[in-house]
């Protein structure tokens, strides 16, 4: 089930969500198949497969999916904000050319709530325009690059959590 904008529980299929089978929490397969970075206390952190930008996606690991932040309890929202800040700090510190951090909550295509966090700099292919309506094609990571980027982000996030940066 998914909690919609009005707080009603509905079948996720009515929103075009195809659940990932045999997954540890209800998750749209378009999110669940992104490269895994790590689990935080509430969110799973994924890499967005686009080398044009350091870009991660946070997906709350909840028993019931939510369509947007209004479906979160106050405590869940506070936890989300804390985890968002940790990951944004990791992006800013790991990618030293970062001059702006973008955070976006979209649910028009993938109707399960998720949060995009993107490190931007004045030399990126879309600066200063939005990455979401970019005329520039996403450049995919090769398998080795995905592994290295996921490990790099995991280490950066852990350094922020452990106060090393």
What CATH number did the domain enclosing 39 receive?
3.30.428.10
Range of the domain at 149: 2-161
Residues 6+ apart with CB under 8 A from 15: 2, 4, 67, 111
Q: Is the peptide bond before 84 cis (omega within 30 degrees of 0)?
A: no
Residue 165: per-residue pLDDT = 58
Compute the mean pLDDT over every residue in the chain, rounded to the nearest whole number: 95
- Tell me the pLDDT tens digit for each residue of 97-143: 999 999 999 778 899 999 999 999 999 999 999 998 889 999 999 99
Q: Is the pTM of this model over 0.85?
A: yes
27 pLDDT band, cuts 50/70/90, is very high
Residue 5: per-residue pLDDT = 85
User: What is the total count of domains within the chain?
Assistant: 1
């Amino acid at each position: 089930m998914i909690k919609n904008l009005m707080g009603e529980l509905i079948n996720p299929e009515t929103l075009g969500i195809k659940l990932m089978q045999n997954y540890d929490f209800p998750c749209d397969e378009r999110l669940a198949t992104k490269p895994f970075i790590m689990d935080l206390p509430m969110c799973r952190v994924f890499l967005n497969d686009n080398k044009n930008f350091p870009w991660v996606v946070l997906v709350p690991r909840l028993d019931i999916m939510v369509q947007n932040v209004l479906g979160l309890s106050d405590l869940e929202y506070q936890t989300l904000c804390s985890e968002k800040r940790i990951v944004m700090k990791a992006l800013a510190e790991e990618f030293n050319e970062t001059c702006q951090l973008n955070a976006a909550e979209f649910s028009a295509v993938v109707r399960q709530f998720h949060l995009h966090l993107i490190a931007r700099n004045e030399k990126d292919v879309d600066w200063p325009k939005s990455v979401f309506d970019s005329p520039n094609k996403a450049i995919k990571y090769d398998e080795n690059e995905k592994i290295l980027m996921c490990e790099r982000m995991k280490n950066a996030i852990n350094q922020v959590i452990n106060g090393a940066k």
